[in-house]
Amino acid sequence: MYNNWEDLEKSIVGCKKCRLCDNRNNIVFGEGNKQAKLMFVGEGPGADEDRLGQPFVGKAGQLMNKAFAGLDIDRSKVYITNIVKCRPPSNRVPQDDEAVACLDYLRNQVILVRPKIIVLLGSTALKNILGKDYSITKQRGKWMEHKGIMYMPTWHPAALLRDETKKIEFWNDLKEVKIKYDQLEEN
């Protein structure tokens, strides 16, 4: 583990820990406020993210931006990253060994950011961070506490694009997050 961003960011340059390095154009490390109280973790970069090197800048990102605007959350004040930092081919779900290979980067990001709240966007984030036995269908919308961090699992924004009925649940979950986030900002 690195105790500063410079060393951590240097350590990922040219990463070849897993096969996802073969087809990537850019490593999508993460972005935002490095002292954010609120962090979002998605699954892995898509085509737009791979092209630009930034998380959530494609269709799913546009949905996130709408939610941020609706909830008055300033995107530049939160930290956004993914379970895997390189795009899985055809946007498939990252395989277990790929996620495992990449997870130390995320652990280190969490240690350095020290968020109070982490929003887990979808099943891949939930299972890789809190445990394989959890199901996003059962856990979404329920706060979970682990080692002093509050976790809110919710739908991945891409799931909303496939199934409109999930939008209201996503919105309600993020509203809960916003309430807790505002309480933190007051203190």
Binds ligand URA (CB under 6 A): choice among 30, 32, 42, 153: 42
Q: Which C-beta is closer to ligand URA: that of 137 or that of 147? A: 137
CA distance 38 to 139: 19
Mark the segment that binds ligand URA (CB under 6 A) among 41-49, 93-101, 132-140, 178-186: 41-49
Nearest 10 degrees: CA dihedral of 142, 74, 125, 141? 10
Q: Which C-beta is closer to ligand URA: that of 46 or that of 115? A: 46
Q: Crossing angle of helices 123-130/96-113, nearest 10°?
A: 70
Under the binding rule (CB under 6 A), the answer on residue 29 touching ligand URA is no
Rounded least distance, CB 36 to ligand URA, Å: 16
CA distance 59 to 91: 13
- Residues 56-95 as x/- pattern, contact with ligand URA by CB under 6 A: x-x-xx--------------------x-------------
Q: Which C-beta is closer to ligand URA: that of 58 or that of 115? A: 58
Give the residue nearest to ligand URA (CB).
42
The 8 Å CB, 24+ separation contacts for 96-104 are: 97/18, 98/18, 98/19, 98/20, 99/124, 99/128, 101/17, 101/18, 102/17, 102/18, 102/20, 103/128, 104/1
Residues in touch with ligand URA (CB under 6 A):
42-46, 49, 55-56, 58, 60-61, 82, 158
